Amino acid sequence: MTAQPLSAYPVLRPRSAQERAISRQLPEPLAYLLNGVRPSEKDEAWDRFIEDYTPLLLQVSRSVARDRDLAMDAFTAVLEGLQEDDYRRLRAFDANGPASFRTWLAVVSRRLCHDLVRARYGRRTGSPREEGLELRARLVDLVGAEIDLERLASRQPSPERTLRAAELTRALETALATLPPQDRLLLAMRFEEDVPVSEIRDVLGSPTVFHVYRRLRRVLATVRAELERSGIGGPTP
């Protein structure tokens, strides 16, 4: 998106010094849209806003709804949602906050698209807490398989093996919970989402994919070492 010269926008007169200060921090299309006084000024500012941000909003709509008709419905829903109640959602953008307007708009518009899809096709059952518990158990299983938890457990003779495996799983849950947040996010992206390493590199800000592989090995080695150090992976004391 390229910035339009000031002369491309209608001349608007913000109502107060505070509004003028906020206007200076907002992207120009948004500033003119939110501070327009007359309806005609807002209409023209809204046309300019759509012109500038339609490529991004279309990208969002298409990503949520692969079907072309649904994507266009989603795009319409986004525009309606942004206009609703005198641009209430757009006014919620914190110009003093750390987020850029473009990224914030992508997040908000994507949520509007999902609202449409959910309204049309229903939402998933299960509370967020249930989903969290289920995912935690799944991550433990996946990381446990990666560090060969079964082999750690199998050092014990049967019938202690089942008991040992349960002990190891609990210890693994504890070990994972004590990892730094970014390491836990790394494991979740790698094992739960199967996110490509190149994408993990971008999310975590790693210099190369090799740094990600190295970090992954180090985290798994740390978890494994923690299990063995706590006496879980060795002979019964």
Partner 1 sequence: MTHLSAEDLAAYLDATLAPDTRHAVEAHLAECRTCRAEMLETRRILRAHDHAPPRIRVLAPFAAAAVVAAVFLWPSGEPGSTPRLRTDAPAGLQESIAIIPVRPAAIGSATDPGSVTLAWDSVGPRLDYRITVVDAHGETVWTGTSTETRLTLPAEIEETGDSVFFWFVDATLETGEAATSGVQEFRIR
Cβ–Cβ < 8 Å for 10, 41:
yes
Taking residues 47 to 86 in sequence order and writing x for each that binds partner 1 by CB under 8 A, - otherwise, the string is: --------xx--xx--x-----------------------
| Residue from 10, 173, 185, 222 binding partner 1 (CB under 8 A) | 185
Candidates 18-26, 124-132, 159-167, 222-230: pick the segment binding partner 1 (CB under 8 A): 124-132
Name the minimum Å distance from CB 207 to partner 1.
11
The dihedral sign for the CA sequence 60, 66, 71, 74: negative
**Dist. CA 95–CA 108, nearest whole Å:** 15
Please identify, using beta-carbon distances, which residue of 98 and 159 lies nearer to partner 1: 98
**Dist. CA 148–CA 136, nearest whole Å:** 18
Cβ–Cβ < 8 Å for 113, 70:
no
Residue among 166, 193, 207, 227 nearest 184 (CA):
193
Q: List residues binding partner 1 (CB under 8 A).
A: 55-56, 59-60, 63, 94, 97-100, 102-104, 106-108, 110-111, 128-129, 131-132, 135-136, 180-182, 184-185, 187-189, 192-193, 195-199, 202-203, 205, 208-210, 213-214, 217
